[in-house]
Amino acid sequence: MGGLATMMLSSIKLEDVTVAYARHPAVHHVTGAFSKGSMTAIAGPNGAGKSTLLKAIMGELPLAGGAIDRGGLSARDFGYLPQAAEIDRQFPMSVADTVMLGAWHRSGAFQRIDRQAVARAQNALTAVGLEGFGARNIGSLSAGQFQRVLFARLLLQDAKVIILDEPFTAIDARTTRDLLDIVRRWHSDGRTIIAVLHDFDQVRAYFPETLLMAREAIEWGPTTVAMSSRNLLRARAMAESWDESADVCEEETAAA
C-alpha cells in the first residue's frame, strides 16, 4: 500500500491542459499521466505543441486552462535538457564548469562546490566518453560532444524526472547510441523519462510509452498502439488542417 501511494504521489498528472501563445492555441485539452519510473516519448508533426507541453510541465509556461499535478515533486527533482538551438555556446565557459551546473541546481548557485561534487563531475564526463575534456571551452566542441556534456550535467544533477527536448537532433549515430544507453540506465534506475523525439524508429525501439500529439493528444499509451499507422495518419491530417489564427480554445468559446 505504501509503495502504491508513493507511486501515485510521484506521478505527473495532466488534467485538460491547454497552453497558448497570445491566445493562439499550442496545446489543447491534454489529459493523462506520466507514472513514476515510466519512459515516454512525445511524438508528432512539427508545430504539434510537443516542446510547449514540456515547458508547461516544467512550469516555464502558464496554462490557459486545466491543471498539472506534479505529485509533490519540486523544481530540483526535474532535470531538463532544452533544444540545442536554445543554448548559447558562445558564452566563454569550460566543459567542467558546464557540468558543474548540475551540482549547483541542487546546492544553489552561491554555495561552495565540494571535492565530492568535483569528483562526480569528472566521473560524469568519463561516463559520457569525454574524460580529459574538462578544460576545453564549450564553443570548441562538436555538436555531438556538446550534447555529451549536457548529458554529463544531467548525470551530476541526479534528478528524479529527466525531460529531454529533441536530444538526438543533428548528432552522429555513435553519440546517439551512447546517449540512448544512458537514457536506458536512467530508466532502469527508476527515474521518469519524458523525451520529445522526431525519429519514429527511435521511439519504437527504445520508448515503451508514447504520447502522440497534434496539439491535442491523438493517443497516449503503449508505443505499439500510439504509433499505429492509423494514429499517425490522423496526426498528419490534423496538422494539415490547423488554423493558425484560431482563438485559444474554440470548444470553450462555443460552450460559453
pLDDT tens string 81-115:
998 767 777 788 999 999 998 887 655 554 566 68
Question: Would you say residue 228 has pLDDT above 50?
Answer: yes
User: What H or E segment, with its residue span, contains residue 203?
Assistant: helix 200-206
Query: Using one digit for the tens of pLDDT, what is the confidence trace for 3-24?
Result: 333 334 469 999 999 999 887 8
**Is 0.85 surpassed by the pTM of this model?**
yes
Name the β-bridge partners of 212: 43, 219
**pLDDT tens string 24-74:** 889 999 999 999 999 999 999 999 999 999 999 999 999 999 999 999 999
184-223 tens-digit pLDDT: 999 999 999 999 999 999 999 999 999 999 999 999 999 9
Q: From edge to edge, which strands make up the β-sheet containing 65-69?
A: 24-34, 12-21, 65-69
Residue 141 has pLDDT above 80, yes or no: yes
Distance of CA 151 to the CA centre of its chain: 12
Q: Closest Cα partner for 60 from 182, 143, 163?
A: 163
pLDDT at position 256 is 38
Where b means 16+ CB within 10 Å and e means fewer, 84-119 reads: beeeeeeeebebbbbbbebbbbeeeeeeeeeeebee
The end-to-end CA distance of the chain, in Å, is 43
pLDDT > 70? residue 151: yes
Residue appearing with cell numbers 568535483 = 118
Helix, strand, coil: what percent of the chain each, to 5? Answer: 45, 25, 35
Domains of the chain: 1-73+208-251 (3.40.50)
**pLDDT higher than threshold 50 for residue 158:** yes
Q: Which residue has the cell 531538463?
A: 80
Query: What pLDDT does residue 117 have?
Result: 82
Q: Round to whole Å and give the CA distance between 196 and 211.
A: 9
State which amino acid sits at residue 176. Answer: T
